[in-house]
Structure 1
């Protein structure tokens, strides 16, 4: 008899089932239903759980094993891309264009994917988290043009990446590298990248067994973080400086 995911109650403060109950096929499907309130979303992230579903589906909650993660000191930028960054004039900032970033992520075409999982309801939910100081974006600008970005959720000193986009080739890579650089400066060691794809592997992501991931999440989310707008703390990061820092850490 096939095991079914747990149906969540209406109360947004209700506990999630233990992640060990997640299905093996599809990998990590844990629960169904509930809502996307800030309370439920933050409870989910603190337990290594995230929502992921398509338009027309009920809300689906996941905790795959293994998890895809970035160590903030090991994001890889190729020599060719570092050279392009040095001559780009791009500048990175945070939380100055959150709505534009999440909308661009929703609209970005994905290979083998029709439509988007970043539904209007998802966008509204993460905008609410942004207003509360929990969801953040890193934006890459070429003058006034937004050429790339990434957004996700910060709880304590843990960052849970949700999506990224490029309007110009390399924009998302620069956003990820800039996020990792600032997190490294702040003493935040880990970025959740959720599930495997070849692009993330090329950028230095690694597989993390779920028990190891959950232990790190429990430790990092309990630490004091930055539940506020990040614009001032992040400052402006020149892409040329980002390229130089990456070259110093990992010659290629």
Structure 2
């Protein structure tokens, strides 16, 4: 069984654990040759997403119910988050190394993201949408928050088409480990700053054409 300390050591070395399914208690270490990363403070917001944010009703909340965020992300037909991994996340949250950002629309849960922090690196574990644009809004808030709190690496493990549309790219393992080593030398605190209001987040987004 992997311990919280071993999980953090793995992340610091550039590897991460996943389960094959929720019904399989075993965990396996992964070290992909290409690694997905998102820009810190520069996640792309399409014109339609910015328009949706300006309509109002959106809000973000930090660590309101971490276990619920993990459960929401695992609640899908196929998941790599099994019970042992969820327990590891909970223990890391208690130790200050795991955090969640939840977004709501008109007070109703719309989506969330959670991840692990070490130094200036944020390892995004999973995200989900309960309403349209829920996960996209969570990414916008997370990217902005990481920058304001001193982080320099936003790791997404793998790159999906969804993440690519938000500005995510793939980098080779060697380049990733170089960026990781630099981020680990930094001091950053995920709770150093409050989350921005929707209005403040909107004003900080750079204009785009898509």
Question: TM-score, normalized by length of structure 2?
Answer: 0.92
- Among 208, 219, 234, the residue aligned to 2:171: 208
Which 5+ residue runs of structure 1 have no aligned equivalent?
1-34
Deviations 1:179-238 (A, max 9, x none): 110111223222001112111111110111111110111121122232x7x2xx342422
Q: Do the aligned residues in 1 keep the contact of 2:57 with 2:107 (CA within 8 Å)?
A: no
SS in 1 for 2:14: coil
Task: State the secondary structure of the residue aligned to 1:93.
Answer: strand
Structure 2: how far apart are the matches of 1:211 and 1:106? 30
Q: Among 130, 150, 173, which residue is 2:113 paired with?
A: 150
- Tell me the CA shift for residue 47 of structure 1: 0.7
Q: How does 1:165-244 map to 2 (within 5 A)?
A: 165-226=128-189, 230=191, 233-244=192-203
Q: Is residue 39 of structure 1 aligned with residue 5 of structure 2?
A: yes
Could you tell me which residue of structure 1 aligns to residue 98 of structure 2?
A: 135
Alignment partner, residue 63 of structure 1: 31
TM-score (norm. length: structure 1): 0.77
Partner of 1:76: helix, strand, or coil? Answer: coil
Q: Residues of 2 paired with 1:185 and 1:250: CA distance?
A: 20
Q: Which has the larger radius of gyration?
A: 1
Query: Unmatched 5+ residue regions in structure 2?
Result: none
Q: CA deviation at 1:57?
A: 6.1
CA shift, 1:143, in A, is 4.4
- Tell me how far 1:56 sits from its aligned partner: 2.0
* Equivalent residue number for residue 208 of structure 2: 251
Cα distance in 2, alignment partners of residues 126 and 63 from structure 1: 19
State how far apart, in whole Å, the 2-side matches of 1:122 and 1:57 are: 9
CA RMSD of aligned residues (A): 1.6
Equivalent residue pairs, number: 207
Report the alpha carbon displacement of residue 38 of structure 1 after superposing the two structures with TM. Answer: 0.8
Residue aligning to 1:24: none
